[in-house]
Every structure is written in structure tokens, then in C-alpha cells.
Chains A and B, each alone.
Chain A
Amino acid sequence: MSTARKNSALTTLAVLVRDTLTSQVVTLWKVFRHLWVPTDTVQYPEQQPAMASRWRGRIVLTRDPDGEERCVACNLCAVACPVDCIALQKTEDESGRWKPEFFRINFSRCIMCGFCEEACPTNAIQLTPDFEMAEYKRQDMVWEKEDLLISGTGKYHDTNFYRVAGKAVAGKDKGEARNEAQPVDVRSLLP
């Protein structure tokens, strides 16, 4: 038997011992030591967990700083939803403001992924740190617009879609949105 082969056989044995014995024993020991590591468990509900404000919990519909519904029923949340648990219907008030006629989230399907919030162009739909959503009846997990709509602005305080968008609504005429000039007079030939 050549030296090289002997060496390689020894190396193999060493690797075998290291992998099958040392490594396993070390693992066992490391796990065993966790007996003395303090647990991470939070004793909910006696002890309330500290929730990050970006936690993706119960979904709400918010209002803009003027107190109007932010949701313009654009349907982007619904289409972004991977479990298709948002359904809504657009309607329009007298002033041309788009609103949801109904806005329904089936929380028994919701996976709290937050895609709806990301898709929302008006910051209307927001996920909140409220995770206490259990119900005894599954039907009670279907929330309508009346249940979802809150009176505040939620996480984003300043967003006001109609102050930016060019569509005229009550309280904001053509030419009054951000970066807008007064409506043109088509009868005029002046530049």
C-alpha cells in the first residue's frame, strides 16, 4: 500500500469520525446547553408583545387629511391580492370622486402579505399591528367597508390623492391640483 493511499485512507477515517461522531456530539452538546438559555416565548395574553408599526396585521381603509375616504376603488389591491380575498365595486359621488360602493375583505383567506398596501396608489389600504382577529364563526371574518374604514389617516399622514391627480372633485377644481395651471380658454389664441 503506498503512502499516499494510506494517507487518504486515514484522511477518510478522520473525516468519518469528524462527521459521524465529533460533529454529532458537538451538536448534541450545543443543543443541550440551551436548557440554560432564557426562552423567547412571550406569555401572551398576560404579556402583550411589542408590535412593530410595520407589522402586517388587520387591514384598514383610511381617510385622507381632509377626512374623505382615501380609497378610489381602483381595484389594484384586489388584483395584487394573491389569494383573491378583496372584492370591491366602484361608484362615484356627485362631484366625480371615485369610491367603493362595497369593499369586502375575506379575512379567512387573507394571508397578510401586504401586497394590497404596496399596490395602493392612494395609501388607503393599510395593514396595522393588530393581529387579534380570531372569530368563532368563519363568516364573521368577512369584513365590509363599514368595518374596515377608520376615521384617521393611518400610518401615512399626508397622502391626499385628489390634491395631486388632475380629476376635478368637490373642493378641488381643475387647475387646483399640484403643479397644475388654470384651465385653458380654448377660444383664446394667445400663447
Chain B
Amino acid sequence: MGWIEWQVGSGLNIASILLVVIVVAAMLIWVERRLLGFWQDRLGPNRVGPFGLLQVVADMIKIFTKEDWVPPFADRFSFVLAPTIIMIVILLSFSVVPFAPGVGVVDSNVGVLFVLAMASLGAYSVMLGGLSSDNKYALLGSLRAAAQMVSYEVFMGISLLGVVALAGTFNLREIVEVQENGWFVVPQFVGFLIFLIAGVAESHRLPFDIPEAEQEICAGYHTEYSGMKFGMFFVGEYLGLVLISSLITVLFFGGWHGPFGIGLLPPLVWFALKASAFIAFFILLRAAIPRPRYDQLMSYGWLFLLPLSLINLLVTGVVILAAN
């Protein structure tokens, strides 16, 4: 690889990943708006720069220069802390994601658990943001967010266990390597579906953006946020989107492996392609599916997804035992 030493955990690696992830998340603002535009027979932002690409830059300039206001009635410490938590935990989650051979931050034996742990910590951001705002809509939003995130974490974790059982490891890089000859989406299709749904719920993207349902509760937990603190929640949401897409790629779609062992493209490109497809899919979900009611979301999770994921795990276990 010439003078560039691609090695997991190298400083360059870390810096590049951080940069790429954040830039991608920021660009997603533009991507999402354009895609939504097309799906709604519009153009989306196309005025700033070629194809409106500099819209992100304009948005960034705007959001950085906007008045950054903390309400006098808010609890200032936790109000400032909340948006930073979401940024930090999601960026930390990326540290265990194996993007390609040699590209990654750490190779952790407990990668899957680490991701789940970080996702759980993310709930604090939303809760603190809503509670510290001292605003009834924010409080309602944070209560919804807490319930939703805690609930869907359960199915998310259980749906992953099938994959873990098949791969026999919690190490994400090893999980990818195991899939060289066959993606887990085939044996674990139900698990994939559950993880997909739970992932959307975890990142409270539409249609599961119940904590910030603007028609009901203004903007939910970030009602009182403005300026870059709002920007951090905003970018955090897109980071979450990238993370979930990456995880789906890693866990169910063979990571950097091409389909059916096709190695036509560099591994990193395969990874990016697959992740992008899922990102686009998530945006399509937003364009197409209306938001369910809060109680529907909860009963759907506990009464349908939980049994389904348990059955999936049971069946996987039985199959594995039978195969052995």
C-alpha cells in the first residue's frame, strides 16, 4: 500500500474515519433533502453550488453563526451536556465498525456489546435534553424517547444474537470475515428485519420519530435547542443513520465482501455501496411511511417484535444445535 500504512488503530486511520463519518453525516442533510424532493416530485435544494451541494456548507455557516441561546429556565449544565453525549456515543460506536480490511479503529472482542452499550448511553442524551429544557413538550419528548429507546434496545440486542450465535463471536471484524462465503441475511432474515426496524427506532428516524413528533409536541426533546447545540442533535441523528446502515452491512450483508464472492471492487467501496443503499432505504422510509401512534409503537415492539425475535433466536439455536 505504498507509504500509507493502513492498519487498524493507526492515527491516520482514526482521523480519516472520524473525518469521513462526520462529512458523510453532514452531506446526508443534502442527500436526504434531495432524495425526499425527488420522491415527492420536487427538486430539493439545488441552488447553492453545483446540484446544491454547497447547501450543507450554507447550512453549516448558518447554524454556526446562529444565536446560541440557552433558556434562562433551563438547567444549563445538562442542557449543554445533552447534545454532546449523542455525538460522542455515536462516534465511539464507529470505533468498533470494521469498514474494510485494515480500516477501523479497534478490533474489539466485544464489539457488538460495545455498540449496544453505546446505543443505551444515547438514551441519556435525549432524556437529559428534554428534562433540562424545563418545557412540557421537551419533557414529553424525552419521556417518549426514553421508553422507545429502552424498549427497542431489547429487540435489537436479541435480534443480533442469531448472528452472534452463527458467527460464534462478538467481534464485528470476525463476523464480517465469517460471512465471506454467505451473508447472514439469508439465515437470519427475520433477525435482519427486526434489527432494521429496531435500528430505525433507536435512531428515532421517521417513521419512528415519535420523540420529536412536531405535529404533536413541537420538536419534542430539542424544542428549546438552537444554534450548534441543535446542530449536534441534528448531525447526531444522521450519524446514527450512518451507524445503523454500517452495522446492517457488517452484521447481515457481509461487510466489505462483494456478493457471491465477487471481488470486483475494493473492499471499502463495497462497504460504502452497501451502507449507502441502506441510508437511501432509510430516507425512503421517511418519504413513504407515516408515523405510528406512540402506543402502537410500543405494543408493536413488545407484543410482536419481542416474541418474534425470541422465536428467531430459538430457531437459530435449534438449527445450530442440530447442525452440530
Whether A and B touch directly in their complex, counting CB atoms under 8 A apart, is answered as yes
Query: A179 vs B299: C-alpha distance in the bound complex, in angstroms?
Result: 74
Known A31-B284, A32-B284: A39·B289 in contact at CB below 8 Å: no
Q: A24-B289, A27-B289 are in contact. Are A40 and B42 (CB under 8 A)?
A: yes
Q: Is A41 engaged at the interface, CB distance under 8 Å to the other chain?
A: yes
Contacts of A35 in B (CB 8 A): 38-39
Report A-chain residues with C-beta under 8 Å of the C-beta of B43: 39, 41, 43
B288 on interface, CB distance cutoff 8 Å: yes
- Measured CA separation A24–B40 after assembly (Å): 17
A32 in complex: contacting residue of B39, B40, B41, B304, CB < 8 Å? B39
Asked if A52 CB lies within 8 Å of chain B CBs, one says no
Contact A28 B41 (CB under 8 A): no
Query: What's the nearest-Cβ distance from chain B to residue A33, in Å?
Result: 9
Complex Cα spacing A49 to B287, Å? 27
B37, B38, B41, B288: which contacts A27 (Cβ < 8 A)? Answer: B288
A35 to B304, CA, bound (A): 33
Q: Find the B residue at minimum CB distance from A21.
A: B193
B297 at the interface (CB under 8 A from A): no
Instruction: Encode contact with B along A14-55: 1 for CB under 8 Å, 0 otherwise.
Output: 000000100010011011101101111101000000000000
B144: min CB distance to chain A, Å: 21
Option from A24, A30, A40 in Cβ contact (under 8 Å) with B41: A40
Contact call B42/A31, Cβ cutoff below 8 A: no
B24 located at the interface, meaning its Cβ lies under 8 Å from any Cβ of chain A in the complex? no
Contact A28 B289 (CB under 8 A): yes
In the complex, A27 Cα to B285 Cα: how many Å? 9
Are A37 and B289 in contact, with the CB atoms below 8 A? no
Return the 10 tightest CB-CB contacts between A and B, nearest first. Answer: A31-B288, A41-B43, A34-B39, A27-B288, A28-B288, A40-B41, A41-B42, A31-B287, A31-B39, A39-B41
Complex Cα spacing A32 to B42, Å: 13
Interchain Cβ contacts under 8 Å between A and B, 10 examples = A28-B285, A31-B284, A32-B288, A34-B40, A35-B39, A37-B41, A39-B37, A40-B41, A41-B41, A41-B43
Shortest distance from the beta carbon of B71 to any chain A beta carbon, whole Å:
26
How extensive is the interface on chain B, given as a class? 10 to 19
Contact (Cβ within 8 A) A34 B41: yes
* Per-residue A-contact encoding for B25-69, CB less than 8 Å = 1, 0 else: 000000000000111111100000000000000000000000000
User: Which residues of B in the span 291-324 have a Cβ within 8 Å of any Cβ on A?
Assistant: 304
Bound-state Cα–Cα, A35 to B39, Å: 6
- With A28-B284, A39-B43, A41-B43 as known contacts, state yes or no: A34 contacts B38, CB within 8 Å: yes
Among B43, B288, B289, max chain A CB count under 10 A is at: B288
Measured CB to CB, the closest approach of chain B to A47, in angstroms, equals 12
- Collect the chain A residues with CB atoms within 8 Å of residue B41's CB: 34, 37-41
**Total count of chain A residues near the partner, CB < 8 A:** 15
* Chain B residues near A (Cβ < 8 Å): 37-43, 284-285, 287-289, 304
A2 to B37, CA, bound (A): 52
Query: Smallest Cβ distance from A44 to chain B, in angstroms?
Result: 11
Residues of B within 8 A of A31 (CB): 39, 284, 287-288
User: Separation in Å of the B105 CB from the closest CB of chain A?
Assistant: 34
Could you say which residues of chain A place their CB within 8 Å of the CB of B39?
A: 31-32, 34-35
Residues of B within 8 A of A43 (CB): 43
A40 to B284, CA, bound (A): 19
Q: Are A39 and B42 in contact (CB under 8 A)?
A: yes
Residues of A within 8 A of B289 (CB): 24, 27-28
Closest residue on chain B to residue A40 by CB atoms: B41
* Cα distance, A39 to B41, chains bound together (Å): 4
Residue on B nearest A42 in the bound complex, by CB: B43
Tell me the minimal C-beta distance from B113 to chain A in angstroms.
Answer: 30
Task: Provide the residues of chain B in CB contact with A32, threshold 8 Å.
Answer: 39, 284, 288
Which B residues touch A41, using CB under 8 A? 37, 41-43
Give the distance to chain B from A13, nearest Cβ to Cβ, in Å. 11
Which chain B positions have C-beta within 8 A of A40? Answer: 41-42
Q: What CA separation (Å) do A92 and B183 show in the bound complex?
A: 87
A39/B38 in contact, CB under 8 A: yes
Report Cα–Cα, A24/B41, bound state, in Å: 20
> Beyond A28-B289, A41-B37: 20 further Cβ-contacts under 8 Å?
A20-B304, A24-B288, A24-B289, A28-B284, A31-B284, A31-B287, A31-B288, A32-B39, A32-B284, A34-B38, A34-B39, A34-B40, A35-B39, A37-B41, A39-B41, A39-B42, A39-B43, A41-B41, A41-B42, A43-B43
Q: Which residues of B contact A37 (CB under 8 A)?
A: 41
Note all chain A residues with C-beta closer than 8 A to B42. 39-41
A residues near B40, Cβ cutoff 8 Å: 34
